[in-house]
Chains A and B, each alone.
Chain A
Amino acid sequence: MPTITEERTVQIKDIVCDILELEPEEVTPTSLFKEDHDADSLRAIEILASLEKAFNITIDQSELPRMVNLEGVYTVVAESANWN
């Protein structure tokens, strides 16, 4: 199971909040981007692209269905970056 530091969690959350135009306190680890925060597929791709750039990693677009909330994003980023 890949692990993730507090610092990286904050950084990822900031990226997501910035793209979804939300305040950090509005988003919980399990609140859903689409259903709870009105995101669409283009925002999802924007999140993916920004994470790739921030962490210098490649995230396969087939991972998008798992990136529905912050928890999912943490896991996918940690796996793609081989953090453990």
Chain B
Amino acid sequence: MTQAANRVVITGLGVVSSMGLGVDEFRAGLRAGRDTARPITAFSTVGFDHANGCEITGFEPAAWITELVPAELGRASQFAVAAARMAIDDAALSVPRLRDARSLVTIGTTDGESRDLDGLVEVEVGQGPAAMDPVAARRVPAGRLAAAIAREFALTDTEAVTIPTACSAGNYAIGYGYDAVRSGEVDFALVGGADALCRKTFTGFYRLGTIAPQRCQPFDVDRKGILTGEGAGVLLLESEQSAKARGARIYAEVLGYGLSCDADHPVAPNQAGVARCMRLALENAGVKPDEVDFISAHGTGTKANDVTEAGAIRQVFGDTPPRTVSIKSMIGHSMGAASALASIGCALAITDGFIPPTINHNQTDPEINLDCVPNHAVEAELNVVQNNGLAFGGNNAVTVYGRYREAS
């Protein structure tokens, strides 16, 4: 490679979340510490003792999906396309300009269009296979999450790939985009994650005993588990040079990322693996642990995750770790979208100078003993922020963001 590596900056953000649609509502919700938990309506919850979640209501796909037929896309693909359009608009990038450039579209997910599989199976069991809707069946393949974005904007000089590394997939997608822009392989990268609430995932977590009865309380001594959520987060990445040439607003810089695979237990988190991933990310970003101003934790609110993640943070950061928050306390666990939405939260925190709170917090678990910025956001000038994404199967991905400063 002859050219020097590009600096990679974030110039557009697209948010579909239970906190609202678009960057402004998301920022306002994070600042206010808004709890979006409510009874699930996406599917029948008869037979469950409790069924709260962080669901998106009032999403009108036609407002964002103008070229494709929304009914031919599953809910997660609809979220992904909507968030991509928001990110492109937010970056003040024209679609023809994007179309003429070399691009990457990469979307992480846990469930793909399992919401449609729920429905198809219900029909199959109740009425037999002949009654299954062929349109719904065609919506199912997970590869369509990224492909739908490429189709909506008619991007042909692009690589459109869906990454299925579950609850850390958003960070995987961002890391992939970072590499592609940094190396100069592409001019623009639309990266993030998407998932829709589905019965399969709710039931699975419920059966594992990890769904909280009412609210999500990461790091609290009385935490009772996750709340399932949904949404999409898409970031537009480009080189510093490209952003400056077109006069784009820069939210933050992507400093680097790390990936690790435990090759160990299917669901139990592995503390050494999590610590290894954070170290790899900091090293890749060229950041020392004491330069990190806060950590946006994976912070699901389960007993196992929070204590393991806190232990790993201590392993890397020593006895005085940075403030560590979980936005899942507010928007639940949006699965493949989670680390993308949290990354957007990090970019907004850097731009606006605040640390989002961990809400529903009464008493920090003494075994965890972190400053989780309980219940109220704090103002803070931030230079470096770390975002953790940890997934079942031990697929971990950590991203690191920095305040953008021109080279002196």
Decide if A61 touches B209 in the complex (CB within 8 Å): yes
Cβ of A10 within 8 Å of any chain B Cβ, yes or no, is: no
Q: Which residues of A contact B130 (CB under 8 A)?
A: none
* In the complex, residue of chain B having the shortest beta-carbon distance to the beta carbon of A46: B207
Cβ of B208 within 8 Å of any chain A Cβ, yes or no, is: yes
User: Closest approach, in angstroms, between the C-beta of B15 and any C-beta of chain A?
Assistant: 34
Decide if A45 touches B209 in the complex (CB within 8 Å): yes
Q: Which residues of A contact B267 (CB under 8 A)?
A: 41-42
Cβ of A4 within 8 Å of any chain B Cβ, yes or no, is: no
Q: Which residues of A contact B265 (CB under 8 A)?
A: 40
Cβ of A19 within 8 Å of any chain B Cβ, yes or no, is: no
> Majority SS of interface residues in chain B?
loop
Give the docked Cα–Cα distance between A72 and B265 (Å): 26
User: Closest approach, in angstroms, between the C-beta of A37 and any C-beta of chain B?
Assistant: 18
Contact with A along B265-277 (1 / 0, CB 8 A): 1111000000000
B197-221 interface with A by 8 A CB criterion: 207-209
Q: How large is the interface on B (under 10, 10 to 19, 20 to 34, 35 or more residues)?
A: under 10
Give the docked Cα–Cα distance between A49 and B267 (Å): 18
Give the docked Cα–Cα distance between A49 and B208 (Å): 10
Give the docked Cα–Cα distance between A61 and B224 (Å): 13
Give the docked Cα–Cα distance between A36 and B234 (Å): 48
User: Closest approach, in angstroms, between the C-beta of A47 and any C-beta of chain B?
Assistant: 12
Q: Which residues of B contact A45 (CB under 8 A)?
A: 207-209
Give the docked Cα–Cα distance between A40 and B208 (Å): 13
A9-38 interface with B by 8 A CB criterion: none
User: Closest approach, in angstroms, between the C-beta of B209 and any C-beta of chain A?
Assistant: 4
Contact with B along A43-84 (1 / 0, CB 8 A): 001000100000000000100000000000000000000000
* In the complex, residue of chain B having the shortest beta-carbon distance to the beta carbon of A61: B209
- Central interface residue in B208, B209, B265, B268, by most chain A CB within 10 Å: B209
Decide if A42 touches B266 in the complex (CB within 8 Å): yes
Give the docked Cα–Cα distance between A41 and B208 (Å): 9
* In the complex, residue of chain B having the shortest beta-carbon distance to the beta carbon of A64: B209
Give the docked Cα–Cα distance between A49 and B207 (Å): 8
Give the docked Cα–Cα distance between A59 and B207 (Å): 11
Give the docked Cα–Cα distance between A42 and B266 (Å): 9
* In the complex, residue of chain A having the shortest beta-carbon distance to the beta carbon of B267: A42
* In the complex, residue of chain B having the shortest beta-carbon distance to the beta carbon of A52: B207
Give the docked Cα–Cα distance between A51 and B268 (Å): 24
User: Closest approach, in angstroms, between the C-beta of A54 and any C-beta of chain B?
Assistant: 16
Give the docked Cα–Cα distance between A42 and B267 (Å): 9
* In the complex, residue of chain B having the shortest beta-carbon distance to the beta carbon of A40: B265
Give the docked Cα–Cα distance between A49 and B265 (Å): 21
Q: Which residues of B contact A49 (CB under 8 A)?
A: 207
User: Closest approach, in angstroms, between the C-beta of A57 and any C-beta of chain B?
Assistant: 13
- Central interface residue in A40, A41, A45, by most chain B CB within 10 Å: A41
User: Closest approach, in angstroms, between the C-beta of B263 and any C-beta of chain A?
Assistant: 16
User: Closest approach, in angstroms, between the C-beta of B266 and any C-beta of chain A?
Assistant: 7
B157-213 interface with A by 8 A CB criterion: 207-209
Q: Which residues of A contact B209 (CB under 8 A)?
A: 45, 61
User: Closest approach, in angstroms, between the C-beta of A24 and any C-beta of chain B?
Assistant: 26
User: Closest approach, in angstroms, between the C-beta of B212 and any C-beta of chain A?
Assistant: 13
User: Closest approach, in angstroms, between the C-beta of A1 and any C-beta of chain B?
Assistant: 27
User: Closest approach, in angstroms, between the C-beta of A81 and any C-beta of chain B?
Assistant: 18
Contact with A along B248-278 (1 / 0, CB 8 A): 0000000000000000011110000000000
User: Closest approach, in angstroms, between the C-beta of B152 and any C-beta of chain A?
Assistant: 39
Contact with A along B84-96 (1 / 0, CB 8 A): 0000000000000
Q: Which residues of B contact A61 (CB under 8 A)?
A: 209
| 8 further contact pairs, Cβ within 8 A, besides A41-B267, A45-B207, A49-B207 | A40-B265, A41-B268, A42-B208, A42-B266, A42-B267, A45-B208, A45-B209, A61-B209
Binding site for A on B (CB under 8 A): 207-209, 265-268
The 10 A-B residue pairs with the shortest CB-CB distance in the complex, in nearest-first order: A61-B209, A49-B207, A45-B207, A45-B208, A42-B267, A42-B266, A45-B209, A41-B268, A41-B267, A40-B265
Binding site for B on A (CB under 8 A): 40-42, 45, 49, 61
Q: List 11 A-B contacts (CB under 8 A).
A: A40-B265, A41-B267, A41-B268, A42-B208, A42-B266, A42-B267, A45-B207, A45-B208, A45-B209, A49-B207, A61-B209
